[in-house]
Amino acid sequence: MIVVGSGAGGGMAAYVLTRAGHKVLMLEAGRDYDPVAETPMFNTNAEAPLRGTRTPDKHFGFYDATVDGGWDVPGEPYTMADGTDFLWWRARMLGGRTNHWGRLSLRFSPHDFKAATRDGLGADWPFEYDTLAPWYDKTETIVGVCGDNPGLDDIPDAAPGVLHKPPQPRVPELLLAAAAKKLGIPTAYMHRAILTRPLDNRQPCFWATPCGRGCSIGAAFQTTTSLLPLALETGNLKIVTDAMVHTVAVDDTGRATGVTFVNRKTRKPETLSARVVVLAASACETARILLNSRTDALPDGVANSSGQVGRNLMDSTGASFTGLVPALENRPRYNEDGHTGNHIFIPWWGHAAQAKGELNFPRGYHFELGGAFPAPGMGAGSSAAGYGLALKERVRSRYGAYVGLSLRGEMVASDDCYMEIDGEVRDQWGIPVPKFHWKWSEHELNQVAHGRDTARQIIETMGGQMHNPDQLPEEAIKKGGEIIHEVGTTRMGTDPGTSVTNEWGQTWDVPNLYVMDGGVFASNPHKNCTLTIMTLAMRNADHLAQAMGRGNV
């Protein structure tokens, strides 16, 4: 069979299918990537151009683990409708976005799978949380996730022994937690896909280098140091990189027969046949493939009898709130690195208030807390006035005294947010590109306003002052696609008329064509989507493997 994509969904699908004895050919649009040889874990910013700061082609800094790709990929444009401001991230490399992601690994909760039943917005998932719970346990065991079970309704418990021990909170995080507690807001250890004990051939984190650069020892999860090597060990996986898949072929009986791709090295098209095709190219790329697979018999593309391919495009909401806390000034210096990301966070605490109709937005959000002694960068003194010795002393005193609360929230699927194929623009490979339509609704803007006011309360409770406390939500909210959590473009459901796949990721129209990336999400809860992409891929690949074993696919 063919699996398109080597990231979270494709990597997990290949892992499960090869271990079940099936032969898998994996096609990756990007280049080959060796995380051991290519990860600049120990390089300092002083060794990089511009001291490692971000640039238009390296938004997350010179050492960002996405060695090929980003929001702007040379020769691979995308277009936007009038009034749309959308960003589409592509990781053109083996392992996809798992080389780069923040590794936040929060389970979706019982509230998340049936939100539409409560508020009438969007769509429910075709199963309950309990259906996925044992698969979350299996995924977290294989991936390696640190955290704990705090007993909160927004964070379902893992089975005993599954989670690794989390690192201790930093001083600013403890102060943030204390302030939140005074306001009746809980905090919890962040669940993150970083090892704190050995797993397979991967080593535990030694708290020394930025995870965003990648991790050659495998402590920070990415498919290139875990799922793909484990699948290759079975002898059942072959990986072909630089294979830009653009269409799926379907025969007269309605079955997929294979895919066509452009070989990025030779720039020539190649066609491969397969018994089963699994698309896991990322939500927008998979939808693009299906829409571009149009023929005279299928003028709307493959697996699109519902008209839902490309629709229901969702991203997480995002906004950042920062402040200066005088109580943290001039504190003793010590190593506060940890696993570079936040050690604790504020999960959503407002389910009861929403049930009572006390909030003017329907879905929740969380805060990722920031505050530590970071590696100083080019902007270390940008917020301090003056010059000379006085400026230096002010910068030193404020080092480690800033805190941040990054909001990540759920948006509701909207008819205003979707992608289609641009009929006039093609990329350098000759493939028609996506055209995006995007507009935040009042639901999301009201949510960000609530987050702004809550962040201000927390920072002021710490004795600090928030920067720009009256910022309008339209100004604070990030662009669509900027959080890099696009999902929903091939959503699953129970009705072939309103969804693209069933609960197993099997397309309604083409029985041997599966989708195993975030496109199948029926909604986009406020948690990072990667853990659930992998969990669904594990469950659905297991179901596919069994069906193939019985000859039913």
pLDDT recorded at residue 256: 98
Find the radius of gyration of the CA atoms of the chain. Answer: 23
pLDDT recorded at residue 53: 87
> In 35-150, where do the E strands start and end?
69-70, 79-80, 90-91
509 pLDDT higher than 80? yes
pLDDT recorded at residue 393: 87
pLDDT recorded at residue 57: 84
pLDDT, tens digit, for every residue of 39-80?
A: 999 898 889 998 888 888 888 999 999 999 999 999 999 999
Q: Which CATH number does the domain 1-147+211-314+414-440+484-553 belong to among 3.40.50.720, 1.50.10.100, 3.40.1190.20, 3.50.50.60?
A: 3.50.50.60
pLDDT, tens digit, for every residue of 320-358?
A: 999 999 999 999 998 888 998 999 999 999 999 999 999
As a residue count, the chain comes to: 553
379: confidence class by pLDDT, cuts 50, 70, 90:
low
**What is the pLDDT averaged over residues 371-396?**
76
pLDDT recorded at residue 378: 56
pLDDT, tens digit, for every residue of 148-166?
A: 999 999 999 999 999 999 9
pLDDT recorded at residue 385: 73
DSSP helix/strand/coil, 117: helix
The two tokens of residue 374 are 């970071």
Which sequence spans correspond to the domains of the chain? 1-147+211-314+414-440+484-553, 151-189+317-409+442-476
pLDDT recorded at residue 380: 53
Q: What is the C-alpha to C-alpha distance for residues 5 and 96, in angstroms, rounded to an integer?
A: 7
Identify which has the larger pLDDT, 480 or 59: 480
pLDDT, tens digit, for every residue of 175-226?
A: 999 999 999 999 999 999 999 999 999 999 999 889 999 999 999 999 999 9
pLDDT recorded at residue 383: 62
Q: What is the C-alpha to C-alpha distance for residues 242 and 335, in angstroms, rounded to an integer?
A: 41
pLDDT recorded at residue 377: 63
For residue 185, give Cα distances in angstroms to 54, 225, 257, 342, 455: 34, 37, 54, 17, 11
**What is the pLDDT averaged over residues 10-35?**
98
The two tokens of residue 218 are 């495998």
547 pLDDT higher than 70? yes
391: confidence class by pLDDT, cuts 50, 70, 90:
confident
Q: What is the mean pLDDT of the chain?
A: 96
Q: At what angle do helices 129-143 and 530-549 cross, to 10 degrees?
A: 100
465: confidence class by pLDDT, cuts 50, 70, 90:
very high
DSSP helix/strand/coil, 277: strand
The CA-CA-CA angle for residues 365, 366, 367, to 5°, reads 135
524 pLDDT higher than 80? yes
* Contacts for 372 with CB less than 8 Å, ≥ 6 apart: 170, 172, 336, 337, 338, 400
* Contacts for 513 with CB less than 8 Å, ≥ 6 apart: 248, 250, 256, 276, 277, 279, 302, 303, 506, 507
384: confidence class by pLDDT, cuts 50, 70, 90:
low
Contact 463, 471 (CB under 8 A): no
Tokens 């306003």 locate to 449
pLDDT recorded at residue 66: 94
Contact 371, 328 (CB under 8 A): yes
**What is the pLDDT averaged over residues 79-108?**
97
Q: What is the C-alpha to C-alpha distance for residues 21 and 505, in angstroms, rounded to an integer?
A: 20
pLDDT recorded at residue 483: 98
Tokens 């406020």 locate to 526
382 pLDDT higher than 80? no
* Percentage, residues of the chain above pLDDT 70: 98
Q: What is the C-alpha to C-alpha distance for residues 43 and 66, in angstroms, rounded to an integer?
A: 16
**What is the pLDDT averaged over residues 279-302?**
98
Q: Which of 463, 364, 370 is nearest to 408 (CA)?
A: 364
